[in-house]
Structure formats: structure tokens, C-alpha cells
Amino acid sequence: MEVKRHFSWRSLVTIAALCLFHVTAGETTLGQTPQMGWNSWNTFKAIINESVIHETARLFGTLGLQKAGYNYVVIDDGWANHSRTADGYLQANVTGFPSGIKALADKVHAQGLKLGIYSDSGILTCDFKPGSWGYEERDAQTFASWGVDYLKYDNCGGFEGMTEASQVRFGTMKNALELSGRKIFYSVCEWGFQFPWRWGGGIGHSYRISGDITASFTNETGCACKTAYCLNTGYAGCSVLTIINKMREISQYGVQGHWLDMDMLEIGVANMTLYQQQTHFTFWSALKSPLIIGADLSRLSNESLAILTNKNIIALNQDSLGKPVSYVETLSEDGLWQVWAGNIESGYVVLLLNEKSYPQTISLQLSNLGLGTPRKIVELWSEKTLKTNAFNGTLQPYQTLVFKIDTA
């Protein structure tokens, strides 16, 4: 009986706060475009230390990533000590972070960058470090005092422990961050469980729509759910193409300031072809997903770096309208090729994806989308201008062409 009373109280408080959020959300400037940065997890997992963070921040400048718009350096799971202090505060593990998080934040800020950190909405993190459930206000105040600018908030401890509904767990931290005295970007990592596109916009500046991405373009490992609408399945090992396909059902839920997060980028991590990497970056950009690099920047190839810093594709992601593209079923052939389209500030953009492992010749009338009369059409990866309003040509395996269509 006491447990039921506890659930009802926290649930009612959170629901009331979320209602207030919709009134006050416009007051913040955070998240007006999808966040861009780097996260340690894809490469380093929980074996992370301050030297890696220092080197990554340095490489933001030397590789041109900072100039391209990437500004968050995010420490994922593994930074914390296995226990809190005697007073119940989170603390960094001294082996990996002997200088502490505040000193690290100061160094990152001195380079004109922002520092992100990680916690979990349950009792423990995925790496079995202390989670923030029951300590939300204390932890938010701690992060603020350290100068943290970004919180990635995971689902392992809460999901496994079944402590509360996702909306309650993640909403409680949202409220705590707002009381912390510092503007902290809130990245909800809830794996798409319980359909967060129906409620996540009232909580996070961004929120995950799927299980963890894997370093594979097409092959699946543990991603049992191939669509967006699954319960209790598919929380890990989802390929790039599967996550793209999930977005066919839910891209319309993406709104400015509350972005649908397709997970971190595997460009420079996985053994993908040039066209697979371009497709990966194209869809994350055009669907207004956060652009969070997961690669070891010290080992990034020139090919991968050129993709990650392509100003034309990044401009789609950071477009001021903030509208994700939508799947155009009438012009697509399921399992063969996909057509996506959507408005941008100067007109609209059309994506044409060859979904097969072999070349395909495809014809597409670009003026048949009802989004405006084309005045100029440029394919962004090649930067070539089309002479007509139609495309007829061959796409290589898993290649995506991106047509920017000016109407003004």
C-alpha cells in the first residue's frame, strides 16, 4: 500500500510539472537546433579517463570539428566511483579522473567547448555505478556546481528495477535540472520503450527513439524490433538501416527543441563503405537527429572526417525551420529504394536511397512532391546542379543522393 501511495505522489507531481513545461518551454534557448558533439561510449565503453577527454577536446580544434559546429564533449558511463560520498554525493573515480569533473569542465570551457556527463534514471547505471533515482535534485546540483552543460540520462537501472514509469523517472530529473541554477541540455536515453515520441517532447531537449545502434549498416544482432512500435524487445544492436526504417513511422513527431534521437554516429567506428557512411550522416542530419560522433578522433580517417564536416549536409541538420523529412511512400519501392522529402528555410530537400547491395537505376520527378516549384536543384554530396526537374541515373549500393531544391 505504501508503494502505491509513493507512485501516485511522484506521478502526480511529475505530470503537473510536465503540463507547466509546455507553457514555459519557449523561454529556454537550449536545443533550438539538434545538438552536435562527441560521446565516449561507442569507442571506449566504460573504460574512459580524463586524458581521452582532453585529447578529444584538442582534436575538436585541430580537425575542424569545432568550426563545423560540434561543441559538446560528452563523458558516458564509467566516469563515476562505485559508491557515493558519505554525504550521498556522486564522485568521480580517482583512477580515471584524478583532477575531478570540475577541473575537467574548466579546461573544456577554456577551449570554447561544453562538457557533458552521464547518469541513469534508476538505482544503478548500465556499468553498475550509482544511478540518480532518489537523488535527482542532489545530482543536478552537483552537475551544475561542476560546470556541466549536458546530461545524458539512461534507462538501465530504472527499466530493470521497474521503479517507476519512464515518464516519471525522466520527468523528475527534468524538474531537478530546471532547479539547478544552470542551463543543462537534457538528453533522454530511454531506448524507444513506451513510445517516447508521444511524451518525450515534454521532458527532454532530445530523446532516443530506438535501442542502441550497432557498428553495422545492415546486419542485425540483438535488435528484435524492426519497427518503431514494439514493447519489451529490440533495445540493443540496431543497424543504421533499421533505425532509418523506424523513423518512417515517427519522423512527424520531431519538433524544434525536442529532437528525435537516432543514437550516436558510427561513422569512423564501423567498417562501412563511403556510401554507407554518407547515407548514415545524411539521414541523421535530414531527420534532425543529434549529431554525436562516436569515433576515436585520434584514429579518424580523412574520408570519415570529410563526411562529418560536410557543411552542406550539416546545414540540413541545423536548418532554422527544424523540420525533419518524411517518408514518401508513393514514390518509394519497399525494399528497393526510399524517397524522403521535407521543407527547409530556402525550399525543400529530397533524399533518394538505394536500399540494396547492388547498383540500381532510378527515375524520380522532383517537381511532383507538392512542396513548391523548383528554381534550382543541387545534389549536395557531388555539388552538381541538375539541368531539369527530374533525376534519372544509377545509384551505387546503399548510396543516398540529396537534392536541395530552392523555390525562392
Whether 217 and 278 map to the same domain: the answer is yes
At 47-98, the pLDDT tens digits run: 999 999 999 999 999 999 999 999 999 999 999 999 999 999 999 999 999 9
Reading the block at residue 295, the C-alpha cell is 569515433
Q: How would you class 338 by CB atoms within 10 Å of its CB: exposed for 0-12, middle for 13-18, buried for 19 or more?
A: buried
Per residue in 4-55, pLDDT (tens digit) is 333 343 444 444 444 444 433 334 589 999 999 999 999 999 999 999 999 9
Check: CB of residue 118 under 8 Å from CB of residue 101: no
Q: Does residue 84 lie in a domain region?
A: yes
Inside any domain, residue 5: no
Q: What CATH number does residue 92 fall under?
A: 3.20.20.70
pLDDT digits (tens, 9 = 90+) for 268-326: 998 999 999 999 999 999 999 999 999 999 999 999 999 999 999 999 999 999 999 99
pLDDT at 386: 97
Q: Which distant-in-sequence residues (6+ apart) come within 8 Å of 190 by Cβ?
A: 121, 155, 166, 170, 196, 200, 207, 208
Query: What CATH number corresponds to the domain at position 342?
Result: 2.60.40.1180
Catalytic residue among 154, 261, 263, 319: 154
Q: 359 and 314: one domain? A: no
Q: What is the CA radius of gyration of the chain?
A: 21
Residue 262: the pLDDT is: 97
Which structural domain, as residue segments, surrounds residue 51?
A: 36-318
* Per-residue pLDDT at 283: 99
- Kindly list the strands in the beta sheet with 337-344, ordered across the sheet, starting from the edge strand earlier in the chain: 326-327, 337-344, 347-354, 400-406, 376-379, 384-385
250 & 143 share domain: yes
User: pLDDT exceeding 90 applies to what percent of the chain?
Assistant: 83
Concerning whether 149 is annotated as a catalytic residue, the answer is: no
Number of DSSP helices (H) and strands (E) in the chain, helices first: 12, 16
Q: Give the type of residue at 277.
A: Q
pLDDT at residue 157, as a whole number: 84
Instruction: Give yes or no: 154 in active site.
Output: yes
For residue 240, the model assigns a pLDDT of 97
Q: Are residues 138 and 195 in the same domain?
A: yes
Instruction: Give the separation between CA 357 and CA 307, rounded to whole angstroms.
Output: 21
The grid cell for 152 is 545524458
In a domain, 47, yes or no: yes
Residue 305 in domain: yes
Tell me, yes or no, whether 275 and 396 share the same domain.
Answer: no
My answer on whether 116 and 209 are in the same domain is yes
Integer Cα distance of 150 and 127 in angstroms: 20
- Residues 224 and 295 both lie in one domain: yes
Q: Which residues of 172-184 are buried (b: 16+ CB within 10 A; e: fewer)?
A: bbbbbbbebeeeb
Residue 51 falls within a domain, yes or no?
Answer: yes
Q: What is the DSSP pairing of strand 347-354 with strand 400-406?
A: antiparallel
149 and 191 part of one domain: yes
Whether residue 21 lies inside any domain: the answer is no
Of 77, 212, 261, 263, the active-site residue reads 212
Last residue of a domain, one of 296, 318, 340: 318
Structurally, the chain folds into a number of domains equal to 2
Q: Alpha-carbon distance 343 to 352, whole Å?
A: 15
Residue 23 is predicted with a pLDDT of: 36
Same domain, 148 and 276: yes
Same domain, residue pair 240 and 351? no
If asked whether residues 309 and 264 sit together in one domain, one would say yes
